Amino acid sequence: MTVAGSSVQGEKGAAAPEPAFTSMRGGLMVAGTTSDAGKSVLVAGLCRWLARQGVRVAPFKAQNMSLNSFVTRDGAEIGRAQAMQARAARIEPEAAMNPVLLKPGSDRTSQVVVMGRPFAEAGALDYGDLTPQLLPVVLNALEDLRSRFDVVICEGAGSPAEINLRHRDITNLGLARPAGLPVLVVGDIDRGGVFAALHGTLALLDANDQKHISGFVINKFRGDPALLDSGLSMIHRITGRPVLGVLPYLTGLWLDVEDSLDLEKDRGPMRAPLGTDVLRVAVPRLPRLSNVTDVDALAAEPGVAVRLVHHGAEIAGSDLVVLPGTRATVNDLAWLRSTGLADAIIQHAAAGLPVLGICGGHQMLGRLVSDEVESRQGSVPGLGLLPTRTDFGAQKVLARPSGTALGQPVAGYEIHHGVVTLDPQAPQSQLSAAEAFLDGWRSGPVWGTTWHGALENDGFRRAFLTEVAGLAGRDGFQVAPDTSFSALREARLDSLADMVADHLDVAAVTRLINGGVPDDLPFVPPGRP
């Protein structure tokens, strides 16, 4: 198969030769000098750019630590970032794209999800004992994808220069070496010190690892790229590796985030309201907050301002409180109480103002949480805003449900151990006032559901915001009749592909995908101790 690619401008303004993709099963890894350097964004951009050339491309991340996850059509749980990258590639997400997912439950322990299913609970030290079992799973998943797609774009994790963890690495050079992958290292210039970070990352690797580092990419640059020319030349001369692109700082992408470093980043300005009122949405920034992507669809609406809040006083002036998902319901419920947010949410609802709980947030809204699985703390009182109780089971529920609510079709996905039911011990007045809502309940201005992704359904979101505006007394708020969250996501992914075409040396990247690891890359001392 030969496919023409985008042309890029060379140093003198001439168009570079159009890349062509051979029939071989190509692959490339995108690593980073740090977490949040831009790996996920560049992988998504490359996937969409390749897909636009007619290339059958798939994303892959061997091991992902994230509380933002997604459920595939066959009921497997993978990182939300890989689901987004699959969308960029215009294919259906699947478990092979993220064979190992770590979901932290505390600072020291994580649930280990393997090929989409819960596998074990492991501590930071214990996890190293699992990696010999996990590496064959990872390599088999990658080989499976490479057998079915023309190109697989792999994403590293953290930094490949984490020398204390190299012996158990299955996602950076620990994957690139057995898989024979060339590696691009991305550095975040917005943090400062990008040349030191690029050189230092390479120089801390041993000779066999260094052989796979094939080039650099500088990300999040603001200003005139000509200012970097001398530095680009020097880093090439010092390391023997070229900088294959200087990517601009892009705001307002709202792409599915992977880790906590991304959560409070600027997502661009609020879209201008259509009416005379703005809806203000407060989202408690839970310590183990998961699937915060649920509120992205609200932030995409004109006149809806979404912000994360840390203390009870910040709830004042909000029209809607969204209590999001969490990997640690009981512990995060205690945090809500310690920060004054619990009392503020109760007062908010008592004033007739709307509250929406999603998954873990739904569990917190009830009268009781009985947990012998995640926290093992037994029964603890909830906020008491819904006449429900939550009982945690050992079996994780992973599903892709659909139904109707507020007169609109709704589809979503479920990821939870806790099962919410009406509590027969609740006051009869509360029970009689409860109405079914998706798989959960509504009582007055308080809604609860276990479904993630419900707000991405355009018709349902409009109906919900209309009710919220009425309850909040925002008569001047006008819901947009035509916002398509799916179309906005597609536009963002296309903007990433445009960035790749315009600012990356796609001919050089194509040579790496087609040709593999170059055989003339020098060693840069001192190497790994």
Partners of 291 in beta bridges? none
What is the residue type of 271?
Answer: R
**List of long-range contacts for 2-7, beta carbons under 8 Å, 24+ apart:** 3/53, 3/54, 3/55, 4/53, 5/49, 5/53, 5/501, 5/506, 5/507, 5/510, 6/49, 6/53, 6/500, 6/501, 6/506
Closest CA to 102 of 134, 58, 142, 74: 134
State how far the Cα of 524 lies from the Cα of 199, in Å rounded to an integer. Answer: 9
The catalytic position among 199, 348, 416, 452 is: 452
The catalytic position among 359, 416, 417, 503 is: 359
What is the residue type of 302?
Answer: P
Does the annotation count 452 as an active-site position? yes
Helix axes 194-203, 229-239, angle to 10 degrees: 10
Which residues, including other chains, have CB under 8 Å from residue 338's CB and lie 6 or more apart? none
Does the annotation count 167 as an active-site position? no
State how far the Cα of 476 lies from the Cα of 275, in Å rounded to an integer. Answer: 5
Residue that has been written with the tokens 């839970």 in this structure: 286
H helices, E strands: number in the chain? 15, 27
Q: Are 347 and 319 in contact (CB under 8 A)?
A: no
Q: Are 517 and 181 in contact (CB under 8 A)?
A: yes
What are the structure tokens assigned to 457, written together? 């359904």
Q: Which string of DSSP letters, residue by residue, matches 284-348? A: E--TTEE-GGGGHHHHTSTTEEEEEE-SGGGGTT-SEEEE-EES-HHHHHHHHHHTTHHHHHHHH
Closest CA to 241 of 261, 211, 269: 211
Residue 48's H or E segment, with its range, is: helix 39-52
Which residues, including other chains, have CB under 8 Å from residue 398's CB and lie 6 or more apart? 71, 75, 76, 77, 116, 117, 414, 415
First to last CA, the chain: 44
What is the residue type of 128?
Answer: G
Helix, strand, or coil (residue 129): helix
Name the burial class of residue 429, with classes exposed (0-12), middle (13-18) and buried (19+) by CB atoms within 10 angstroms of its CB: exposed
Q: Which residues are catalytic?
A: 359, 452
